[in-house]
C-alpha cells in the first residue's frame, strides 16, 4: 500500500509538477542522459546485473542504462508511460518497503531525488531499502544538488525539502551501513530547468575533464558499496 507523508506531495501534484517542469525539455533531457550514461555511469553498472533507479521520473537514467534487469521506482504514476519496454515500474513511495528481495540488486542509482523527500527520516529509510536489496559488494550511486554550492537557488523548486551536502549524505550512508568509496563535492552543474541548453558534445567533453567539475559543478556524486560479509 502506498503511503504519503502529510508534508509530501501526492501523485497528482507530482504529475502536474513534472509536466510543467520537464515537458518542454523532454527531448533535450533524453539526449543529455544518453550522454551521461554512455560517458560516465555505464562503467559503474554491470551489464549482466540488476539495477534499480530510485525516483526514476521520466526514465532518463534507467531507459539508457544497459543491464539484464532494470527497475524504476516512483510515486508519480505518469512515470510509467515514459519508461521503455522491459523496465519494471514500482509505483510507490521509495521510503516504504520495496517489493524486491534481499540481496538481489547489483546497483542502485538515484539522481536529484533525495532532496524531494519530506524529511531526513524518509531519506534514511529509502537508503536502508537500497542497502537491504543490494547484493554484498553491490554499488550505490547518489547524485544531487549540493546546498553548499547551490545556495538559495535550491529553494526555487517547490518540492525541495531536505538540503544535503556531500558530507551530510556521506554520514547518512555510513550510518545505514554503506562504505563510501568516492565522494565528489562538485560533479555536474545544478539543473537543466530554465538554463540554456548545452550542446551534447560539450556534455561529453565536460565528463572527461574533472577540472571543469571543480569550476562548474554544483551537484555532489557519492559512490557507496554494501560490504561483503566477514569470512
The set of cell numbers assigned to 126 is: 529509502
Cα 114 to chain centroid, rounded: 8
Residue 57 lies in a domain: yes
Q: What is the pLDDT of residue 20?
A: 52
Bridge partner residues of 171 (DSSP): none
Q: Are strands 219-225 and 179-184 parallel, antiparallel or unpaired?
A: antiparallel
Q: What is the pLDDT of residue 230?
A: 86
Q: What is the pLDDT of residue 1?
A: 35
Number of domains in the chain: 1
The set of cell numbers assigned to 22 is: 520537464
Residue whose C-alpha is closest to residue 82's, from 12, 32, 27, 143: 27
The domain that holds 103 is classified in CATH as: 3.40.50.150
Residue 71 lies in a domain: yes
18 vs 208: CA distance, rounded Å: 30
Question: pTM for this one?
Answer: 0.89
HSE-CB at 131 with a 13 A cutoff on CA atoms is: 20
75 vs 108: CA distance, rounded Å: 17
28 vs 36: CA distance, rounded Å: 12
Give per-10-residue mean pLDDT for the chain (231 aa). 47 57 73 96 98 96 98 95 97 97 98 97 98 98 97 93 98 98 97 72 96 97 96 82
Q: Are strands 134-145 and 219-225 parallel, antiparallel or unpaired?
A: antiparallel
Q: What is the pLDDT of residue 134?
A: 98
20 vs 182: CA distance, rounded Å: 34
Q: Are 95 and 127 in contact (CB under 8 A)?
A: no
26 vs 23: CA distance, rounded Å: 5
Q: What is the pLDDT of residue 195?
A: 63
Residue 2 lies in a domain: no
Q: What is the pLDDT of residue 123?
A: 98
Residue 116 lies in a domain: yes
Residue 200 lies in a domain: yes
Q: Which domain holds residue 134?
A: 21-225
The set of cell numbers assigned to 171 is: 554520514
Amino acid at each position: 500500500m502506498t503511503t504519503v507523508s502529510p508534508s509530501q506531495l501526492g501523485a497528482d501534484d507530482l504529475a502536474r509538477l513534472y509536466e510543467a517542469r520537464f515537458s518542454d525539455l523532454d527531448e533535450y533531457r533524453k539526449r543529455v542522459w544518453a550522454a551521461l550514461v554512455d560517458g560516465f555511469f555505464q562503467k559503474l553498472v554491470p551489464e549482466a546485473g540488476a539495477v534499480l533507479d530510485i525516483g526514476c521520473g521520466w526514465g532518463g537514467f534507467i531507459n539508457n542504462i544497459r543491464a539484464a534487469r532494470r527497475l524504476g521506482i516512483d510515486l508519480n504514476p505518469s512515470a510509467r508511460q515514459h519508461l521503455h519496454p522491459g523496465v519494471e515500474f514500482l509505483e510507490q513511495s521509495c521510503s516504504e518497503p520495496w517489493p524486491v528481495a534481499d540481496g538481489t540488486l547489483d546497483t542502485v542509482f538515484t539522481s536529484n531525488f533525495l532532496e524531494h523527500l519530506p524529511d531526513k527520516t524518509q531519506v534514511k529509510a529509502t537508503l536502508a531499502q537500497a542497502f537491504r536489496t543490494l547484493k554484498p559488494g553491490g554499488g550505490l550511486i547518489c547524485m544531487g544538488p549540493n546546498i553548499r554550492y547551490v545556495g538559495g537557488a535550491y529553494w526555487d523548486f517547490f518540492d525541495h525539502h531536505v538540503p544535503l551536502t556531500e558530507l551530510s549524505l556521506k554520514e547518512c550512508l555510513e550510518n545505514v551501513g554503506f562504505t563510501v568509496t568516492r565522494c565528489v563535492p562538485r560533479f555536474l552543474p545544478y539543473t537543466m530547468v530554465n538554463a540554456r541548453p548545452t550542446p551534447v558534445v560539450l556534455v561529453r567533453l565536460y565528463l572527461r575533464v574533472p577540472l571543469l567539475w571543480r569550476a562548474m559543478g554544483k551537484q555532489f556524486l557519492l559512490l557507496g558499496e554494501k560490504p561483503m560479509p566477514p569470512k
